[in-house]
Amino acid sequence: ETSLQTFINQCFDSSTSIEASLNLLWKFQAILKRDNLRNGLESKLTVIFLTYGRELEEVVKLYEKQKQSPPLVRNLPPVAGNITWSRHLLQRIEEPMRKFEKMQTLLQQRESRRTVRVYNRVARALFEFESVWHQNWLQSVESAKAGLQATLMIKHPDNNKLYVNFDKDVFQLIRETKFLNRMGIEISENAKMALLQEEKFKLYYDELAHLLREYSRVSSGVKPITKNLLKPHIENLEFQLRPGMVSLTW
């Protein structure tokens, strides 16, 4: 029995996380029948919960320190990155608490109640953090939708050069939509429509950009001596381009 107790202690001492310690606890509880050994496991549970309380305090400090500018996973766009960060913190505290919730006797102890209150406060803050980012993103989708009502081309007021009139935020919106959709986050119908049209937007943008580069190259290459001769052709070309500046939208 002493050897078994020593083995149990060694297992818990070498455990690398609260999750691993709780899993050990469940396994030993299932096979140990002697009261004194099971009582030893009860004391282990208390120690694990105290460790969890300290972990909770670390998460609180980390959240307060980083919430204004969280470290984002590489290649994630801002909204998906911020939500991923908050979900990671929530997972750190939520998974163990789900197991602790099965042990109401432990949670009802006076010294446990403060830890439960801290957990509730932090979990609520993390949920609200995600909700704020999500709601702001949904509003940005509506703004991006308005940008798609812009004409295809625009003439610069200073140099009269033509440019593709496309809001680059639409591509950022589409990128966010892809990641948020994979994360199981609610996607608005407008965002879904933009995602479905991604290839069309890219194709139109590239073709228009090429067209305007060629137009600029040809126009700037016309020599003054031949300008009057080519004037009807130039005016006809400008007439063909005009709908893209006046009536055609994305």
Q: Which among 176, 168, 92 is positioned nearest to 137, based on CA atoms?
A: 176
147-159: burial string, b at 16+ Cβ within 10 Å, e else: bbeeebbeeeeee
* Residue 186: per-residue pLDDT: 92
- Please give the residue that has the higher pLDDT: either 111 or 204: 204
Average pLDDT over residues 33-52: 70
Q: What is the pLDDT of residue 36?
A: 54
Per-residue pLDDT at 10 exceeds 70? no
- Tell me the mean pLDDT in the region 90-94: 95
User: From residue 197, how far is each of 140, 165, 225 by CA, in Å?
Assistant: 18, 17, 46
Residue 129 has pLDDT above 90, yes or no: yes
CA distance 25 to 48: 10
Which pLDDT score, from 0 to 100, does residue 118 have? 95
pLDDT digits (tens, 9 = 90+) for 135-170: 999 998 988 888 888 999 998 888 888 999 998 889
Tell me what the pLDDT averaged over the chain comes to.
85
pTM, 2 dp:
0.77
Distance CA 61, CA 76 (A): 24
**Residue 116 Cα to chain centre, angstroms:** 28
Mean pLDDT of 194-208: 93
pLDDT exceeds 70 at position 26: no
Q: Pick the closest to residue 132 from 88, 83, 182, 84 (CA basis).
A: 83
Dihedral Cα 167, 171, 174, 178, nearest 10 deg: -160
Instruction: Return the DSSP state at 154.
Output: E
pLDDT of amino acid 158? 87
Mean pLDDT of the 97-126 span: 89
First to last CA, the chain: 77
Check whether 35 has a pLDDT greater than 60: no
Query: By C-alpha distance, which of 71, 86, 68 is closest to 125?
Result: 86
pLDDT at 57 over 90: yes
> What pLDDT score was predicted for residue 130?
98
- Name the 3-class secondary structure at 161: coil
Can you tell me the distance from the alpha carbon of 190 to that of 44, in angstroms, rounded to the nearest whole number? 53
